[in-house]
Each structure stands twice: as C-alpha cells, then as structure tokens.
A and B are shown apart, each in its own frame.
Chain A
Amino acid sequence: MAACATVISFAAGLALAYLLANKNFRGRELLDAAITLPLVLPPTVLGYYLLVMLGRSAPVGRFYEAVFGGPLVFTWQAAVIASTVHAIPMLVKSSRAALESVGAEYERAARTLGASEWRLFWRVTLPLARRSILAATVLAFARSLGDFGTTLMIAGDIPGRTQTASIAIYDAVESGNTMVARTLVLVISGVTMAIVYAANWLERRSKS
C-alpha cells in the first residue's frame, strides 16, 4: 500500500512540483500552501475531509461506486489515497526546491540549443535534480508507511485489508498483545531508520 501510494505521489508530486517551480500563474503560492496543509493539519482533520469528499454520499464516492460496484471508503484503495495525501506535501516541497536549484544557465543553454520545454525538463532539469528528488521520494515512502490517523478515518481497521502497520500496533497494544506490538515497533523503526539514512545519503551525493 505504501509503495502504491509512493508511486502515485511521485507522479502527481513531480507534476505539481514542476508546475510550482516553472510556471508563474496566479495563485501559485496559494496552491503551494494548500499542498503543504496535510503536513501540518492533524491527521484526523485530513481524514475527515477525505471522508466528506469520498464518502458514499459525496459525488466522487458515488461515481466510484457506480463504476466499480462498491464503495470506496473502508477499502485498501482508500488507504492508498490516505497515504498519498499524507505523503505528497513532502515530495512536492522537496522536488520544487530541487528543480529550482538546477542552475538557470543549464536551462538557458538548452533553450538556445533549440530544446522544447518538454525535452528540457526530461533531459536536463530532471536528471540534474534526480538525486534530491529520489531522496524526497524515499522520505515520502517513509511517511506513507507511518500514517495512522488519516487511514483510520477513511479506511478503517480491517485486518488483512486496510490494516496498516501503525494501526496494527495500536490494535496490538489495545488488546494487550505486547509481543506483536514490540516486534512491529522494532520492524518499523528499523525500516524507517534505513530509509532516512538512504535519503540523507542520496541528498549528500547530489550536493557533491
């Protein structure tokens, strides 16, 4: 689920970051602020928003139900959406900074050499920013792994279907199953430690 969320947030996040870094449009900073919101809002607020937007009585939820024959909320797909929303600000923020830090002279050079904006982005800007963006993606993965509140609100806690690692820990502690809780806690700590270390390493490499 976290991997799925990371892929989605990578694609959407990169597009948004490109938009914010390169296009000068009205409301650009407003959009940036809106994207940053999930970083600071309590997860329950976020979950509530999603519930209202995607619930069975909301247009999006009803549309999904009509197409796929079942409600969206309280499915693993909903958990993916929750993780994505939770992880995307991290990706957009860092990617925007990475794209903007690519030397303007490279982009100018590419333009005088006849490159279209599309080719400029894929062949020059993105390769030059790739390490920082990769680092951001790794962090986004870690963040989507650790989501609790948002997922609980919209996907619930159905073992084997929408139960994420962090929710499973909560369950285990609640039911006095300390052994399971301890194991899960150690696993999550180890994995995230490795991820953050990898991200830092990538970030350093991109600077050298």
Chain B
Amino acid sequence: MICAKFAKRYASFELELELIAEAGVTVLFGASGAGKTLTLDCLAGFVAPEQGRILLDDELLFDAAADVNLSPRRRNCGYVFQDHALFPHMTVRGNLLFAAERHARLERHRRVGEMMDRFRIAEFAGIYPHELSGGQKQRCSLARALVTEPRFLLLDEPARGLDLPLRNELYQLVRQIRSEYRIPILVVTHDLEECFALADTMVVMGAGKLLQSGAPSVVYRNPASFDVARMLGIANQFEAEILALDPGRDTSRVRMLGREFAAAYLPGYLLGDKVRLCVPASQLNVAREAGRNCVNARVAAVTELPSGVRVQFEPELIVEMSRETFDAHGSQPDWWIEIPASHLRATG
C-alpha cells in the first residue's frame, strides 16, 4: 500500500495531494496539466516535493521533515513511461537483462526467459526496439518493469497511440498483472473509458488537487462537484431549488428549468437550498407525450456517435439515444424529454 501526502510548488503550478493506493489498480484521472504525471514522478523519486511524506507499506520513501528521500533506484518501483523508453541500442532481451542485472547470471536468464514467455515477446528477443510495433513495445516495457519485481507499478498513459483492439489487449494484460502481482498499480490517463476499464479506485485530479476518489461507479453516481461531473462527461447540469424532501420514500421535489420535478432524496440538504443537479446524457429518455418529469424541447444540434446519436436540445439538454429512437421521431419539431427522478443527483 502506498500512503502519500505531499505538496510541490512551482512558479505557476502547485500540486497538493493526499493519496492512498492499495494493492490493485488506482487510476489517476484528469485533464492534461492536472499534475498526474508529476504525481508519478514524485512517487518514483524523480521529483522531490517540498512537504509531506510518502510511505510504501511501512517503509519511508520520502519525508521532507525527516530529510528522507530515497533515490529512484532504491524505491523498487516499476515505471512504464509514456514513450516506453526502451533502450534503443539494446535488443529486447538486452533491455530485460539490463533490468535483471542484480541477480546472478543463471537466475537472470531464467527470469528474463520466463518474463518473455509470459508477455509473448520471446520471438522478438533478438530484435531492436525500433522494429517493434506499438503493442509489442508496450508489452516489452511492462515486462522490463516487472523483471525487477517492483513493489509498486506506475503506468503513464499506457494506451497512448494504441488502436482499439490493442487497447483492450493492454487492459487485459494490466488486469492479469493486477491479479498475479498484488501490488499497487497506478495508472495515469485522461481517457474515461480506460479509467472505467481498469480502475478499482479512481482518483479525479484537477489543477494539482485531488477532486474526488472512490470506486468509478460510486464516483460516477455521486460526483463531488460540478467540475468532476463535467470531467466524467455528465453532460446535463441544472441549478435547482429544493421544494420538498422525503427521506422515508427516498424522494424529493425540486424546481428547475422553470417547473417542478421529482428527484431522488438529497441527503445533507435542507428545504429551500439551492443545489446543482446532474444527469448523464445516456440516462435521459425520449417520451411520446407530456408526462411527469418531462420537458418540452427543440432539437438544436445532432452529433453522430458509434453507438447512436447525441442530440443537443433547446433548452439546454443533451441526450444520447439510439439511431432508431432518433429516426422514429423524424423531423418533428417538439420533443418531450423525460428526466428520470432516480437519476437526478446532486453534485457536491
């Protein structure tokens, strides 16, 4: 388990983070410039924070107050870099052997052979990195990082530059590593799908701060703030006022978009509070006619998606629907959009 709390300041950027990563996959999710890679660099020991401490199980890797700062090579961490950083002047086998050099000769070759089999790179053993494809490079750098038997693994944008089938293969591989090694694995990404595919825990970061952390499904259901909801692609956000709260029936009534709506119970709020509610675009329904929780809307713009269409309405509503639903309504100007009460949730 990694237990870290530290701060690093630059002239125009400040990283301040408290992070716990158990065995399993922790995804650092956020836009570029949020400080994700910097966080990995602090954990690996490339960057020394100004304050705080980093603990790996019961070993102190960094402590500003006690002046402890283990060098990267003594932290026992596997780091898979964005561009793989395979040594161009060594073969695939040479790269792995370099990582195994602290072992005795025979043992070294045994380990490297075993690792090359496991990651299906044995057939490229004598080849130089520039001759490998993106997916092969990725497997190679994972294998190289694991030869050292690291106590934690850091992956910086591992799927960058891979096409969809290779991505899925990579996710499979990471899950396999997760179950075989039982070490903390930290993955940096700005890709929401990747985050959901891999994460046991997701850590949402923005501007050098931790915005929210938890299981992806929990974070998605209860985004802690407007910003988190936006980053998770929860497209619909409303300013609302609470008219009634009924914890017994797990319901509430709110006023938004100029009318009353039913919503799920909003814990922690009082009558009359202003609150921001959100609904993912995929959870709004198209209704045949006016009804409960329905809004009358006009189509403003249509975007094609792989799985259907995304329709932007006036007033401001974004709905993802299947092609069939969209076609069934044809060119009719007025639509009724239902906002299901159980999916209307508060942010923050």
Once bound together, how far apart are the Cα atoms of A10 and B76, in whole Å? Answer: 36
A123 touches B83 (CB 8 A): no
Which of B44, B88, B89 has a CB less than 8 Å from the CB of A112? B44
Q: Does A124 contact B (CB under 8 A)?
A: yes
* Interface SS of A by simple majority: helix
Check A110 for interface membership: any CB of B closer than 8 A. yes
A128: Cβ under 8 A from any B Cβ: yes
A111 to B85, CA, bound (A): 12
Are B148 and A109 closer than 8 Å at their CB atoms?
A: no
Establish whether residues B83 and A105, one from each chain, have CB atoms under 8 Å apart when the complex forms. yes
Q: B256 contacts the other chain (Cβ, under 8 Å)?
A: no
Residue-wise, chain B 65-78 has the 8 Å CB interface mask toward A (1 for contact) of 00000011101111
Which residues 58-111 in A have Cβ within 8 Å of B in the complex?
103, 105-106, 108-111
Q: How large is the interface on B (under 10, 10 to 19, 20 to 34, 35 or more residues)?
A: 20 to 34
Restricting to B157-181, which residues have a CB under 8 Å from any CB of A? none
Q: List the B side residues contacting A113 at CB < 8 Å.
A: 73, 98-99, 144-145, 147-148
What does the 1/0 interface line of A103-139 toward B look like (CB < 8 Å)?
1011011111111100100011001100000000000
Partner of A105 from the list B72, B81, B98 (CB cut-off 8 Å) is B81
Bound-state Cα–Cα, A113 to B96, Å: 10
Contact call A114/B73, Cβ cutoff below 8 A: yes
CA distance A123 to B46 in the complex (A): 20
Contact across chains for A108 and B89 when beta carbons are under 8 A apart: no
B18 within 8 A of A: no
Q: How far is the CB of B157 from chain A (nearest CB, A)?
A: 13
Partner of B77, one of A112, A115, A116: A112
Question: A-facing mask of B83-105, CB < 8 A → 1, else 0?
Answer: 10111110000000011011000
Question: In the complex, how many angstroms separate the beta carbon of B140 from the nearest chain A beta carbon?
Answer: 12
Q: A103-B85, A114-B148, A123-B98 are in contact. Are A108 and B73 (CB under 8 A)?
A: no
A residues near B44, Cβ cutoff 8 Å: 108, 112
Decide if B6 is an interface residue (CB 8 Å cutoff).
no
Q: Does B62 contact A (CB under 8 A)?
A: no
Contact A110 B78, beta carbon cutoff 8 Å = no
CA distance A123 to B44 in the complex (A): 21
Complex Cα–Cα for A109 and B73 (A): 10
14 pairs, CB–CB < 8 Å, chain A vs chain B: A106-B85, A108-B81, A109-B79, A109-B86, A111-B72, A112-B75, A112-B79, A112-B145, A113-B144, A113-B148, A114-B73, A114-B76, A114-B148, A127-B89
Chain B residues at the A interface, C-beta cutoff of 8 Å: 44, 46, 71-73, 75-79, 81-83, 85-89, 98-99, 101-102, 144-145, 147-148
17 additional contacts, CB 8 Å, given A109-B87, A114-B148?
A103-B85, A105-B83, A105-B85, A106-B87, A108-B44, A108-B46, A108-B81, A108-B85, A109-B85, A112-B75, A112-B77, A112-B148, A113-B73, A113-B148, A114-B102, A119-B101, A128-B89
* Cβ-closest 3 pairs across A and B: A109-B85, A105-B85, A111-B72
